[in-house]
A and B are shown apart, each in its own frame.
Chain A
């Protein structure tokens, strides 16, 4: 098996652009899903009763439907229904955010319910309002407990951006596909892609794990 690395070196700029887009899309997705997921999770715990049912339906639907399906539907079917035609990047952003936000919502809910009711009672006994109790006592502990899951969210987001290649978003996976097709050197290009993804993903989870060990005691009550 002769390897020709020029397929990678000649096209490094093209691939690097793809990598940049991967990171951008991942970041945007993480931010978006934290906002949406956080809101949904909080609404499930503290919101009005009539809201629970639609939110649970949304969360369970995202558990049942693959990312690929949501992605493809957002890009091809959404324009037909709404008349908005989203460019590939934004279609991917919307689809990935919606999908991952459901996961975030569940983590937030699990985090909040893991805080013993005694904590809230103690806060109220001090004279805090319910709102103050939640914001100052419950949420900070929830956030700390969520840290390990946070690493997992980033990891999932980065991995899922690769699926955006299917709707021709020029992120790293798509660029690799293109280069592999043009140079007829899929083994070198895809092996390089594996190393690149691993080198990005592995430190992310490790760093979060390390950070969590430092602050874990703050979330134990």
Chain B
């Protein structure tokens, strides 16, 4: 969260939520993936979703940009509920960027083309303008020299940084990260987390599903602990990691070997 927003909060001014989840439910057959999740995300906040596998964290993220549909409750973007029709949802997706665990770069396009495809195809931007934007973003993530390479020639960490640049090229209001470092070799995790940290410092609203507890500890404004489709506990990192209010939170963290 950047200084301006912190100042606003300290001055006691209400900062409107960018995203609001109201009692969101989702079922797969008889299995409740999301069981009444309510959460607010304010502009500029970095929220980390943590919890065991299958607890609903990724599902919530995928429902946020409509890749999965919800069965109950509402999700609101800037106070407006998400649309149910395709066309409407497509417009909403432009305002959210998503980074996948498996990067999902387009292998048949160069790194530069991967970053420009969003602006040119979806936003109808002219090629030169899109290229300029792409080059600036690639420079920002430290991969300006790889613009002409193909994804197959890049390491996992490099690919994920390109994926971040690709999402940023759409100038989204919110960035959704679905376990961005889970598929990376330990050596390359750091370079991706560095980019994400810088993004947070610049004031981007971010929701990050992650197992990287040290990242959550240092960068998150709030940590939300999931279990079995519901929120177990939420609060600032200091609370969650040092003085968790719920016993099961403590259990989960100690299982991960987190000493506090």
**Taking the complex as a whole, does A directly touch B, i.e. does some CB pair lie under 8 Å apart?**
no
B residues near A (Cβ < 8 Å) are: none
